[in-house]
Structure 1
Amino acid sequence: MDNSHSSVETVVKHQAPVLFFVLFFMIQATVFTVFTVPFSWELVLVAVVSYFVRMFGITAAYHRYFSHSSFKTSRVFQFVLAWIGSMSMQKGVLWWAAHHRNHHKYSDTEKDIHSPSRKGFWYSHMFWFLRDEYNDYETKLIPDFYKYPELRWIDRNHWIPPLTFAIGLYLAGGWGWLVYGYAVATFFLGHATWTINSLSHVYGSTRFESRDTSKNNLFLALLTMGEGWHNNHHYYCSSANQGFYWYEVDLSYYILKALSWVGIVWDLKKPPVKVLDEGLRRDAEKKAALSAAKNLSKPRKIKTAPSRTVVTSS
């Protein structure tokens, strides 16, 4: 990309892809350190809290705020969101958001960076970001956040928040907290997040015509604090809530809503009434079609006239 006429400079992450590949799997393997620590429910709680705090950093921060600008906040809390998201070990905030915007632009086409229908499950799940060509990103894709020097700093130094988090866990609770709160929680956090790239384009229901294979999946929504309502999201991606209706559980949105009550975030975007009405209409049509199909599949009972006995005289 030629940046000679750009007002911003591309951040290039010079990384050896083979080394990064090996490092990635070494980090994944740290989950086996769980066998070095006696089991306790306290450690499970530490892992669960670590998982959901950093999942919020991905879902609400990296995804809904930095990728889609679905709500507003202060510059200070903006940096806090970037820090929490960076703690998940899924690279820099600007890198993540820029690539995600490209994903929406080219969803399920040859230019999509992680389409399971085009490139297979494991590639879309996690191997795509190990490729050398994705170490960089185009700054023109994210000019609204690239202008902040503190975000460029944390993007370049995205290893600092997870390292700080790991040290903090060790100081607070020793080896056990480090193993469960970091190694175990990070393993499940990563794979749960990546299911939205892979499984949510394969398994689930389709409500809207989003011109791709995105699906709504309740299980993945529970696992990822609301991201499983992926078909909703791909149809109207700027909404702060991805569960469009009260019965679609979206924990990330509930937290954002609570934060809006105390003024930490504001202007939470929601899908317009016409989108919600369209979704309800499509759900009703699908329900009616399923009901009709069941009725057609039921065997019909053929009523026959009762036989009569005719008595004749000899």
Structure 2
Amino acid sequence: MSSNRLIKQAAEWVKPAPEAFDLPSESAQKVEWLRCLPFMLLHLSAFAVFFCSFAPACIAIFAISYVVRMFGITGFYHRYFSHRTFKASRFVQFVGAALACTSGQRGPLWWAAHHRMHHRHSDTDEDFHSPVKKGFFWSHMFWFMTAYAYPTYTKQIPDWKRYPELMWLNRFDWIPFVALGAVLYACGETAVAAEWFGATGLQWLVWGFILPTIALYHATFSVNSVAHVWGSRRYNTKDQSRNNLVVSLLTLGEGWHNNHHFFPGTAQQGFFKGEIDPTFKILCCLEKLGIISSLKRVPDWVKDKGT
């Protein structure tokens, strides 16, 4: 690799990702290892857990960080920005997008654009992350490490391009992510936190940022990989989407993937009794509080077609 190419990939750690109207004429399926070095180093940093003592508060810190940020992904990146299954004010949509950015899974418009393309081409050669066409591990994580998947394809998100604050956040999605890590470390270093929680700044950083971020990555990725390989099928869709209870438990209800692919135009993923969908329950609470509105529920005819 040339020195210019090395510099270019290193600069991509912080500079805005490119925006493109459509897919490139020639797909670049090669993994850009240098650009993705922070992603890999974050995984290695999990070993820091062996160099800091454990406190009972660490479990609570991990759980809160994981659940709150997972809701940012499922409630806003997926059910709002990708599928528009409820309405929100400009302020609420920005806050929801910023919350989801703290998960380290790119910006709201990038996420929505790629997800919309996935639905249009699910489990075909044009699907970015089909385990059926491209293998399990490619669909799980390697796909987004390529030059092909790097840009935000603006053709897919004409409805969101008119919001300059969302375009800015999409270009600098790493800022909320890094800020969260800094805030968590600072919280742990305060005397009040040390007295109340008995956890140091390093413990807050490891248990509140590093470990839950890695868990968030692979739980979210499992919807693309696991939920297209293992599970049950209530609906005869054209793809291989599956309903998977384990994935649902890890992702606040996103694992009812066959339901979702049959009818993506609802804020619900669990269509039937026993299909646990915490994200939808939280959205219902937000609707009652007047924070969001027009929450789209699953129609009866959709349930009637399920087996």
Deviation at 1:278, TM superposition (A): 1.4
**SS of corresponding position for 1:145:** coil
What is the deviation of 1:24? 1.8
Which residue among 182, 186, 193 is the counterpart of 1:171?
A: 186
Q: CA deviation at 1:80?
A: 0.6
How far has the Cα of 1:36 moved from its partner? Answer: 1.3
Which residue number corresponds to residue 256 of structure 1?
283
Query: What letter matches 1:233 in structure 2?
Result: H
List alignment gaps of at least 5 residues for structure 2.
1-15, 21-30, 189-200
2:223 corresponds, among 196, 213, 218, to: 196
Instruction: Decide whether the 8 Å contact of 1:221 with 1:250 is kept in 2.
Output: yes
Q: One-letter code of the match for 2:107?
A: G
Residues 113, 154 of structure 2: 8 Å contact kept: yes
Is 1:17 matched up with 2:32? yes
Q: Tell me the equivalent position of 2:91.
A: 76
SS in 1 for 2:249: helix
Contact 1:31 1:179 in 2 (8 A): yes
> Aligned residue for 1:59?
74
Match of 1:50 in 2: 65
How many angstroms does 1:12 deviate by?
A: 1.1
Of the three residues 22, 42, 52, the one matched with 1:27 is: 42
- Tell whether 2:225 aligns with 1:219: no
Letter in 1 for 2:265: S
Normalised TM-score (structure 2) = 0.85
2: distance between equivalents of 1:135 and 1:13? 9
Q: CA RMSD in A?
A: 1.5
2:212 alignment partner AA: A
TM-score normalised by length of structure 1:
0.83
- Greater than 2 Å deviation, 4+ residue runs: none
1:241 aligns with 2:256: no
After TM superposition, the structure 1 = structure 2 runs for residues 103-118 of structure 1, keeping only pairs within 5 Å, are 103-118=118-133
- Secondary structure at 2:159's aligned position in 1? helix
Aligned mates of 1:186, 1:65 — CA distance in 2: 21
Alpha carbons 1:232, 1:243 under 8 Å: kept:
yes
* CA 1:178–1:101: 2 relative to 1, 3 Å: same
Looking at structure 1, the residues matched to 97 and 269 of structure 2 have their Cα atoms a distance apart, in angstroms, of 20
Partner secondary structure for residue 246 of structure 1: coil
The alpha-carbon deviation at position 11 of structure 1 amounts to 6.4
**Are the equivalent residues in 2 in contact too, given 1:86–1:159 (CA < 8 A)?**
yes
Q: What amino acid is the match of 1:227?
A: E
Do 1:13 and 1:156's aligned partners in 2 also have CA atoms closer than 8 Å?
A: no
Return the offset for 1:254: 0.5
Match of 2:167 among 142, 148, 152: 152
Give the equivalent residue in structure 2 for 1:208.
235
Which amino acid is 1:12 matched to? P
1:187 alignment partner in structure 2: 214
Write the distance in 2 (CA, Å) between the matches of 1:11 and 1:30. 25
Partner of 1:88: 103
> Separation in 1 of the partners of 2:272 and 2:103?
29
| CA distances 1:76-118 after superposition (whole Å, capped 9, x unpaired) | 0000110011000011110111010000000000000000011
Q: Which amino acid aligns with 2:136?
A: F
1: CA distance between counterparts of 2:46 and 2:161?
34
Q: Which amino acid aligns with 2:294?
A: D
Distance in 1 separating the partners of 2:224 and 2:17: 25
Identity %: 47
The whole-number CA distance in structure 1 between the counterparts of 2:171 and 2:152 is: 12
What displacement does 1:31 show?
A: 1.2
Q: Tell me the distance in 2 between the aligned counterparts of 1:268 and 1:127.
A: 34
CA distance in 2, matches of 1:146, 1:35: 44
Structure ID, larger Rg: 1
Q: CA offset at residue 19 of structure 1?
A: 1.6
CA distance in 1, matches of 2:37, 2:291: 40
